[in-house]
Structure 1
Amino acid sequence: MTALAPISATAPQPSEATAKPVAQPFGLRIVVGMLGVLIASLSAGLNEKVTDLAMTDVRGALSIGHDEGTWLIALYSAAQVAAMAFAPWFSVTVSLRRFTLGAIAVFALLALLCPFAPNVETLYLLRLLQGFAGGCMPPMLMTVALRFLPPGIKLYGLGAYALTATFAPNLGMPLAALWTEFVGWQWVFWQVIPLCAVALAAVAWGIPQDPLRLERLRQFDTLGLALGLPGILMLVMGLLQGERLDWFESDLVTLLVVGGAGLLVAFFINEWTHPLPFYRLDILKRRNFTHALITLAGVLVVLGACSGVPASYLASAHGYRPLQSAPMALLVALPQLISLPLVAALCNIPRVDCRWVLAIGISLCGLSAFGMSQLTSEWTRENFYWLLALQIIGQPMAIVPLLMSATSVVAPIEGPFASAWFNSVRGFSAVLGSAVVSILMTWREHYHSNRLVDHLGSASQALDLRLEQLGGAENIGRLASQVRGQAGVLAASDTLLAMSWLAAALLVLTPLMPLRVYPPRPVVPAN
């Protein structure tokens, strides 16, 4: 059966058609250049994850409080998501090679400076700017894969992009343990510098140089940038700070969330009418593309909970540090280097319907979440191993088919717009997942705490006898700690169970929304 041809897009604007990039022959240089962009993209993901996990040690070394530490994480994440939205447009204008090299160089320089910040305000600025630089790199990886790779191996390039969503987050915990336990907290920031040096050399040698397309600046979407950039920053920071500040009980969170959402609504209205927008909204009319975005968001929320909740449970229930939780993350991270290419090879077989591959992947991730939801206060990391092992295959089987399905309906000239959509949803989903997990954990912990206290109150005579056996009322604190601990275990169980239901909902969408697509193949010229 012949390959499904990409659905034609609306005709490009004149400014888009006048400076079409010249086709480049595929060879060793392209492979090296793409590896450079991959290393840079993984560095950006590692920088966010490792800094988050090692924030306790960073705060202690820099003498900053818990609240200041949360803003360091929020500023970096917000800037990263915002940059993912606008980077593809600028890369087309100044050229892919120039833009990528500039982002990598700025990212590494800011990493070098962060440990030397004289005060927390300066560190805020450095992390904000580094977030912008880091967010520019993952969209470039997708752009390189779509533009330079031949059809027969394009799926392997998309599989490499999937590493930024599956491999890098799971590698964060082992690296955080390595730097804080054995080397030095400064390497939480400096770890990316050697990787960026390699990436700079690879990109400079391997990625072809396109001409400048400064004529695009005459149609620059100034209003879109003025609305979208602060809108994304405000909304992401509001979601990340909401749980700590009690959501809409806080005027600041209300301003950030409501104001950010309002700016984004105005931004998308503007994008619909602008001749050279940052986002092409008409792409969402394509069922496969919209389904891929929805499912990607849900899958990343599930995967984030399946990695974050067990680590949080082990830290609170058994006092695990990142070093003790690192084997769980490594169990999922390292096999991705083998399983992702294998899944790409499977999806590259024309007889294989990638919708079935997607369904199996979502099922494995949902089964992993459901199994983890059976945890008790006796569980240690060994109890999670076989459940996490399901994600070794489940994660790539959920991500690679989505990339294949989405890109199959996108014409080459639409690559930057597809990259903006896909990376923005990917970045925002990680933030949304963190907020959803925090809300569920807090809500269910309060619920179970009240239930346990009511249960103890109904047995007040037995409770008084128990306190007397423990040595009197001075041990009430010990009993309260036990109640909080059990409530935390039950809350973690409920949260993971909710993730399994989310996976089931995503599974229902798979046979309903996307159309079957076939792996990309070269177009055979007619005789």
Structure 2
Amino acid sequence: MSMVFGMFMAILDIQIVSASLSEIQAGLSASADEVAWVQTSYLIAEVVMIPLSGFLSRLLSTRWLFAASAAGFTLMSLMCATSTTIEEMILWRALQGFIGGAMIPTVFASAFTIFPREKQPLVAPIIGLVATLAPTIGPTVGGYLTDLFSWHWLFLVNIVPGILVTIATWTLVDFDEPDLSLYDNFDWAGLAGMAAFLGALEYVLEEGPAKGWFDSDLITMTAAVSAAGGLLFFWRAFTARQPIVDLGAFRDRNFWTGSLFSFVMGIGLYGLTYLYPVYLARVRGYSALMIGETMFVTGICMFVAAPIVGRLMTKVDPRLMIGLGFLGFALGTFQASYVTKDWDFWELLVPQMLRGFSLMTCMVPINNLALGTLPPARIKNASGLFNLTRNLGGAVGLALINSLMNDRIDLHLTRLHDSVAWGHTKAEEMLASLTLAMADRGSDAGLAAVSKLAGIVRREAIVWAIGDVFFVLTLLFVALVFLAGLMRRPRGAGSAGGGH
């Protein structure tokens, strides 16, 4: 439980700043481009550590690695809270993400190593709930803390729990031994390749939509760095005596299909956590706090679903649960594809409920089939790869969502501009009505009316574009429903690995 809480803090911090970037920007006198790095630096550093954690866990032992990760994460949280410049904040956030990233896959690996198979229906929903709930409620928690106190509390809130997690882990966790001999053949070239590959890829995915992808020289150069790093990393993974990441787990059909599902889960988890607030902020004009309160429904549904899913895991074919989960995702996004400018809490209630229940219905059986059927010796390394796919899915999903939204907004603006051009009776009547309503502005009434009409047109283009994105996500989730049968149902109960 102490390790699970540490993982909750690390995942929560991915999204906790997202609703409060403007307050951090004002507090540190940063530009909009600079403050975006408060989140980007964390993600880039974390995505490098996650696959590395499997090797470090074998090298140092779970106890040493997790305690050091929790302690370092807590210290970096304190340093973030005391930052006085944006450069300091970006540095501490990168270190916070890198050090804390080791906690996430270590929890997954430990769950499948120390608990026997018959305990998995109890343990897996807890871990699945935390892994999906933390990013879902991140904007809500961040909004409340910033609204009630200040942005500093986004990081100070980690201090006391982080100390307790560090002490508890050091005191209670002792089920494997370090293997320091692994250091003798440490693959430094493979580590450099992996860092360049994943770090640069994360940057390209984060910044690509805003910078016009390869229209930007920086994006082109960073993509080239990622490609070169990828070539080095994969070469070392197949030729090094002791590779930094063992890719052999992908030979297992359940693992590679589970990783594919986890990748799409990342799109559903992080993509929808991004898409709903975009609609609520840009169309409805909600504040960060109001957005958090509206989206909290998903978290409540996940809490309700966790024990139900745990019970079903012992009675229902997990492949059927995966199919039903993605079908629930598809139903929610299909309903949301009919979004209008007037939708608020009640119209978004059912899509968010479907999302909450579907996340848990998918997450738990995917984890069990992907990791629970592997030999114990492979689980630590495979857990890092498995969690990496979810994070990369989120990054790819956000990049694709942003690109698709930008393209569809431009398309709908072009079509709408044709509909409100001079000569269209309804458009001219509306413009006249707006001009009359703004008569108190005197000679500026006509310009104000044109500006108001332009704003209405853009708002409608955004709404239609968001509906288009929801529909594309529906098609993606429906495709995964049919792929669930690719996974093999695990054989009868048996120990998933002996704890001692």
Q: TM-score, normalised by structure 1?
A: 0.88
Change in Cα spacing, 1:384 to 1:461, as seen in structure 2 (3 Å) is closer
The one of 140, 143, 151 equivalent to 1:185 is 151
**Runs of 4+ in structure 1 displaced over 6 angstroms?**
none
The one of 379, 396, 414 equivalent to 2:343 is 379
What's the secondary structure of 1:490's corresponding residue? helix
Native 8 Å contact 1:303 1:365 kept in 2: no
What's the secondary structure of 1:434's corresponding residue? helix
Q: What is the aligned length?
A: 486
Match for residue 29 of structure 1?
Answer: none
Match for residue 19 of structure 1?
Answer: none
Native 8 Å contact 1:181 1:323 kept in 2: yes
What's the secondary structure of 1:243's corresponding residue? helix
Output the CA distance in 2 between the equivalents of 1:522 and 1:135.
28
The one of 195, 202, 207 equivalent to 1:236 is 202
Alignment of 1:329-408 (within 5 A): 329-349=295-315, 352-408=316-372
Instruction: Verify: 1:483 aligned to 2:457, yes or no.
Output: yes
Change in Cα spacing, 1:260 to 1:254, as seen in structure 2 (3 Å) is same
Output the CA distance in 2 between the equivalents of 1:304 and 1:366.
16
Change in Cα spacing, 1:183 to 1:399, as seen in structure 2 (3 Å) is same
The one of 58, 61, 75 equivalent to 2:27 is 61
The one of 381, 385, 396 equivalent to 1:421 is 385
What's the secondary structure of 2:243's corresponding residue? coil
Output the CA distance in 1 between the equivalents of 2:9 and 2:363.
20
Native 8 Å contact 2:200 2:222 kept in 1: yes
Output the CA distance in 1 between the equivalents of 2:18 and 2:492.
38
Native 8 Å contact 1:84 1:427 kept in 2: no
CA distances 1:99-141 after superposition (whole Å, capped 9, x unpaired): 1111111111111111322322222111111110121110110
Output the CA distance in 2 between the equivalents of 1:425 and 1:522.
26
Q: Give the residue type in structure 2 aligned to 1:39.
A: F
Match for residue 521 of structure 1?
Answer: 494
Change in Cα spacing, 1:448 to 1:285, as seen in structure 2 (3 Å) is same
CA distances 1:46-76 after superposition (whole Å, capped 9, x unpaired): 1121112211111122221110111221111
Output the CA distance in 1 between the equivalents of 2:471 and 2:7.
32
CA distances 1:235-258 after superposition (whole Å, capped 9, x unpaired): 101110112222111111111223
**Percent of residue pairs bearing the same amino acid type:** 25
What's the secondary structure of 1:279's corresponding residue? coil
What's the secondary structure of 1:278's corresponding residue? coil
Output the CA distance in 2 between the equivalents of 1:520 and 1:268.
35
Native 8 Å contact 2:50 2:384 kept in 1: yes
Could you tell me how far 1:467 is from its partner in structure 2?
3.3
Alignment of 1:66-465 (within 5 A): 66-208=32-174, 210-349=176-315, 352-457=316-421, 459-460=423-424, 463-464=427-428
CA distances 1:441-467 after superposition (whole Å, capped 9, x unpaired): 111111111110122227456545543
Could you tell me how far 1:378 is from its partner in structure 2?
1.1
Output the CA distance in 1 between the equivalents of 2:17 and 2:492.
38
Structure 1: stretches of 5+ with no match in the other structure: 1-34
Could you tell me how far 1:185 is from its partner in structure 2?
1.4
Q: TM-score, normalised by structure 2?
A: 0.93
Output the CA distance in 2 between the equivalents of 1:514 and 1:462.
56
CA distances 1:357-388 after superposition (whole Å, capped 9, x unpaired): 11111101111111111111111122111221
Q: Give the residue type in structure 2 aligned to 1:521.
A: G
Q: Which moved more, 1:278-287 or 1:123-132?
A: 278-287
Aligned CA-pair RMSD: 1.8
Q: Which moved more, 1:328-337 or 1:38-47?
A: 328-337
